[in-house]
């Protein structure tokens, strides 16, 4: 477990993993249409950059498809 950029992440590494930083999973709240919702963030790499976001329902996931949040660092935004 560790906090990176305000997200409490669980870092998961493969049993036989010899290199790399594994995958990070954490949940944070985002405001969507005036409501706070939980967003699960999957991240990886040395900077724990976001590769996927997950939602509590299929409908919400469809509505938020392609959504990027300003307070999450994504792979394609990393320096």
Residue 78 has pLDDT above 80, yes or no: no
Per-residue pLDDT reduced to its tens digit, 17-67 = 787 788 999 999 999 989 999 999 999 988 899 999 999 999 999 999 999
Q: What's the CA angle centered on 64, arms 10 and 40, to 5 degrees? A: 10
Model pTM score: 0.86
| H or E, element range at 59 | helix 58-63
């Amino acid at each position: 477990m560790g906090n990176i950029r305000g997200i409490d992440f669980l870092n998961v590494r493969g049993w036989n993993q010899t290199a790399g930083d594994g995958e990070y999973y954490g949940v944070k709240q985002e405001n969507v249409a005036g409501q706070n919702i939980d967003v699960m963030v999957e991240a990886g790499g040395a900077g724990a950059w976001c590769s996927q976001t997950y939602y509590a329902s299929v409908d919400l996931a469809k509505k938020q498809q392609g959504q990027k949040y300003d307070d999450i660092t994504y792979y394609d935004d990393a320096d």
